[in-house]
Structure 1
Amino acid sequence: MSRDATAAAQQFYGRWADFYDFLARSTPGLGDLRARAADALALDPGDTVVEMGCGTGANFPHLRERVGPTGRVVGVDFTQGMLGRARDRIEREDWRNVHCVRADATEIEFREAPDAILATFVVGMLADPAAEVERWADRLAPGGRLALLDAAQTTRWFGWPVNRAFRGLVVASSPSGTEAYDAPPWTVLDDRVAAARRALRARADETTHSEHALGVVRITGGRVARRGRSARRVQFG
């Protein structure tokens, strides 16, 4: 994102943080999708998992349950309002092994390579999602896993009415509406979600994929193949 676009997104999501938190807690079936995304990471007790775009922390219970008390969950988000709700959740639950970092998911580096990375409704916001998937994959520990939870227009035969409703949701949830895009924002979203998954499949030794909510929600996970170069790492949190 450009600096102006980043600032607009931070202001937008910060303003609607309470509403997003309400939707995360109350939308029927969403908890099950978050659990499935956590399952796609195949986490073990003691693992370290980083969530890119953690928002208000709705995924934290699912991730923490899988890494156990000896593991670590790190949430990354660039919106202070969202992180405020996430930190409230951590304090309320007294989670000693869950932490939040305010940072851009396209720039953050790690001193210690995490065992897994989860990106939830993030790649559709990135100008070059395939490049970011590659960058995240490079920063995983050997044998690490990457999972993507996203929404895009359904490709199923009954898709027309579903996609009409989905397009309205995309516009309503976009910080800049339709003004910042050369194409309809739902088309841009479709292309970015598809590009991220192609990059993950190309990079992974093995992948799993499932579709939910009439084909709108997609969960893709993979065990990432290592490359020869190692990523530069600095401390987070």
Structure 2
Amino acid sequence: MTDARSFYGRWARVYDWLASAPGVASWRDRAADALALRPGDTVVEMGCGTGANVSLLRERVGPSGRVVGVDVTREMLDRARERPARTGETIHYVQADAARPPVREVDAVLATFVAGIFEDPAAAVDAWCDSVAPGGRVALLNFQRSPSALAAPLNLAFEGFVRLSAPGTRLSRRSHASAFERRVRVARERLTERTVDRRYETLAGGYLGLLSGTVV
């Protein structure tokens, strides 16, 4: 996690630009919808980065709800706090390891583009599900290769993304992509085991997978 903290700390501003790029907002909107939030709910985003999802979550929980962003990288959180749309009395940022979140009995957890970076993604998903009160929802949004026969050139871009998402490792390009995909698969399998009323959809021509479920 130290390598990831250093990497994302250096690239916080670039990350913020990519996280807010045109088209990305619609994916994040679908992920927020998957949580079925209600006014007054408390929702936690694990690995919140620069807070790109925060305003979407705040809209759904309203002024009586709370949004908590958890991230291990101080520079990411500092960047989030610089954006007026991502701050307020009902928004709280916590510097902590998202795999061991210091929260309990919340109504929902969102994790976008982070499941593939954890050494033990199953343990991370377990921690997220344990943080949610029974009946609450957890949603995972992740990049993946597209199965389309026309997608081969863009799958190279996916491999480039994976290399940036696995800072500090010394693997071949193929090893990066395989390890990333394995971790995402493990995270999804564990969420499937821990939840009911599951929903899965693909976005962006198959390059994104959104899985959500209700904790029992």
Larger radius of gyration: 1
3-state SS of paired residue (1:101): strand
Give the structure 2 partner of residue 233 of structure 1. none
What RMSD in Å do the two structures reach over aligned CA positions?
Answer: 1.8
The structure whose residues are more often strand, as a share, is: 2
Q: Please, what TM-score do these two structures have when normalized by structure 1? A: 0.85
* Alpha carbons of structure 1 residues 92 and 210: separation in structure 2 relative to 1, 3 Å: closer
Unaligned runs of 5+ in 2: none
Give the structure 2 partner of residue 215 of structure 1. 206
Give the structure 2 partner of residue 203 of structure 1. 194
Moved over 6 A (4+): none
Q: In structure 1, how many angstroms separate the alpha carbons of the residues matched to 2:123 and 2:86?
A: 36
TM-fit CA distance, 1:109:
2.6
Residue-by-residue CA offset, 1:154-175 (whole Å, 9 max, x unaligned): 2233332221221122224432
Give the structure 2 partner of residue 188 of structure 1. 179
Q: In structure 2, how many angstroms separate the alpha carbons of the residues matched to 1:97 and 1:43?
A: 15
Residue-by-residue CA offset, 1:23-57 (whole Å, 9 max, x unaligned): 122x2210000110000000000000000000000
3-state SS of paired residue (2:132): coil
Identical residues among aligned pairs (%):
49
2:165 pairs with 1:170: no
Give the structure 2 partner of residue 88 of structure 1. 82
- The letter of the residue matching 2:91 is V
Give the structure 2 partner of residue 16 of structure 1. 11
Q: In structure 1, how many angstroms separate the alpha carbons of the residues matched to 2:74 and 2:206?
A: 32
| Paired residues, number | 216
Give the structure 2 partner of residue 161 of structure 1. 153
The structure whose residues are more often helix, as a share, is: 2
* Alpha carbons of structure 1 residues 135 and 44: separation in structure 2 relative to 1, 3 Å: same
Q: Please, what TM-score do these two structures have when normalized by structure 2? A: 0.93
Q: In structure 2, how many angstroms separate the alpha carbons of the residues matched to 1:83 and 1:52?
A: 12
